[in-house]
């Protein structure tokens, strides 16, 4: 018995090959059910108690060594054509997972780029604002409904603080910190205490713009918005301006883009008018300029602001705003190609 074990150990130690077939033959000869090592176990069963004690352990070790050797040989087996089941070097690589930009960011970046090209810079400000920057400096009357608990999230610890309801607050900061000419856009996240539905959310994003200089006119505003609409929606895009109201602009307007009425989706998106509402705008109210330390007799300016989610929903035909906040990978993956 001892001799045989020794002989096998020696064979296991010295045997070597890189060929899959030879490794398999070796395994079958030594370890398969009718192989030499199981045969040795059969012999072992017939031994007396004394000898069993002597060889049991080394026999088990022999079996383990044989298996370990085969595992080793397999790991180092040749990868050439003849035995190459393990690696097919001609196989195309499997695609790795690639992250993608969020559709809100894609649209926001595009809007920002369009305005950067005509000399606007980007300004940012805090999401938690004080009453002055979000409302008072912007000419909101004391009793204006937008200040109500219904529209604004206030900070419980300090009722002077609120989550900004628009990024016009950033424009106040820009006017306070800079001398005209000021040409800036402020993209960012805003918050309103609204019921969440397919069409509206309590969190969304805006891009607002501000231009202050000597003798800025409504015609400048209109031309800038037309430029934007044509860059963003296509070169033949038509726009219209409808009278509107904001406390911080006078006159105020709402800009629509002509979308068309060719199918059912167009009807739904434009409420049957063919026109898409895109943004609010107007000439900065002289009170606002004064509040921010700019002389309204010397300077004038325009401002505009748009919601990014709504434009992203139009662009990508997204039917429910909540998709934009759920981070469901199956939804987000669809924007891979939009990188």
Q: Which residues bind ligand PHE (CB under 6 A)?
A: 166, 168, 208, 246, 249, 280-282, 303-305
Closest CB to ligand PHE among residues 239, 303: 303
Q: How far is the CB of 99 from ligand PHE (least distance, A)?
A: 31
Identify which of 250, 244, 241, 245 has the alpha carbon closest to the alpha carbon of residue 284: 250
How many helices and strands (H and E) does the chain possess? 13, 10
Q: How far is the CB of 210 from ligand PHE (least distance, A)?
A: 8
The nearer residue to ligand PHE, 73 or 212, going by C-beta atoms, is 212
Shortest Cβ distance from residue 246 to ligand PHE (Å)? 5
In the complex, the smallest distance separating the C-beta of residue 91 from ligand PHE, rounded to whole angstroms, is 54
As to burial, measured by CB atoms within 10 angstroms (0-12 exposed, 13-18 middle, 19+ buried), residue 170 is buried
Nearer to ligand PHE, 134 or 270 (CB): 134
Greatest CA separation for the chain:
116
Q: Which helix (H) or strand (E) holds 128?
A: strand 128-130
For residues 279 and 306, give the distance between their C-alpha atoms in angstroms, rounded to a whole number: 4
Q: Which is nearer to ligand PHE, 163 or 281 (CB)?
A: 281
The CB-of-124 to ligand PHE minimum distance in angstroms stands at 16
Task: Identify whether the C-beta of residue 232 lies closer than 8 Å to the C-beta of residue 118.
Answer: no
Give yes or no for a contact between 79 and 87, defined as CB atoms under 8 angstroms apart.
yes
Instruction: Between 252 and 270, name the residue whose CB sits nearer to ligand PHE.
Output: 252
Return the number of the residue (103 or 282) whose C-beta is nearest ligand PHE: 282
Q: Which candidate, 256, 310, 243, places its Cα nearest to that of 283?
A: 243
Cα–Cα distance, 94 to 219 (Å, whole number) = 56
- Residue whose token pair is 């309801």: 165
Smallest distance, ligand PHE to C-beta of residue 222, A: 14
**CB nearest ligand PHE: which residue?**
305
Q: Which two tokens stand for residue 25?
A: 């033959």
Taking the least distance from each CB to ligand PHE, the nearer of 278 and 303 is 303
The answer to whether the CB of 280 falls within 8 A of the CB of 207 is no
Q: How far is the CB of 330 from ligand PHE (least distance, A)?
A: 32
């Amino acid at each position: 018995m001892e001799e045989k074990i020794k002989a096998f150990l020696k064979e296991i130690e010295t045997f070597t090959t890189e060929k899959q077939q030879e490794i398999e033959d070796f395994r079958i000869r030594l370890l398969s059910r009718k192989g030499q090592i199981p045969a040795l176990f059969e012999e072992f069963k017939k031994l007396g108690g004394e000898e069993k004690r002597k060889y049991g352990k080394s026999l088990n070790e022999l079996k383990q060594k044989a298996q370990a050797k085969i595992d080793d040989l397999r790991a180092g087996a040749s990868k050439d054509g003849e035995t190459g089941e393990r690696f097919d070097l001609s196989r195309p690589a499997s695609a790795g997972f690639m992250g993608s930009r969020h559709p809100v960011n894609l649209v926001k970046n595009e809007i920002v780029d369009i305005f950067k090209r005509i000399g606007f810079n980007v300004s940012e400000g805090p999401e938690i604002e004080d009453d002055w920057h979000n409302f008072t400096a912007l000419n909101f009357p004391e009793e204006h409904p937008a200040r109500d608990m219904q529209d604004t999230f206030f900070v419980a610890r300090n009722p002077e603080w609120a989550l900004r309801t628009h990024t016009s607050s950033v424009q106040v900061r820009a006017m306070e910190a800079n001398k005209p000419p000021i040409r800036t856009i402020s993209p960012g996240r805003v918050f309103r205490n609204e019921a969440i539905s397919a069409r509206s959310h309590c969190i969304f994003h805006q891009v607002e713009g501000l231009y202050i200089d000597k003798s800025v006119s409504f015609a400048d505003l209109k031309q800038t918005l037309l430029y934007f609409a044509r860059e963003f929606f296509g070169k033949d895009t038509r726009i219209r301006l409808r009278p509107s109201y904001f406390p911080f602009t006078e006159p105020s307007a709402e800009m629509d883009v002509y979308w068309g009425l060719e199918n059912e989706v167009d009807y739904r998106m434009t409420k049957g008018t063919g026109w898409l509402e895109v943004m609010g705008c107007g000439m900065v109210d002289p009170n606002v300029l004064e509040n921010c330390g700019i002389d309204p007799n010397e300077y004038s300016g325009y401002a505009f602001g748009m919601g990014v989610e709504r434009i992203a929903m139009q662009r990508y035909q997204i039917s429910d705003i909540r998709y934009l906040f759920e981070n469901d990978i199956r939804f987000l993956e669809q924007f891979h190609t939009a990188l």
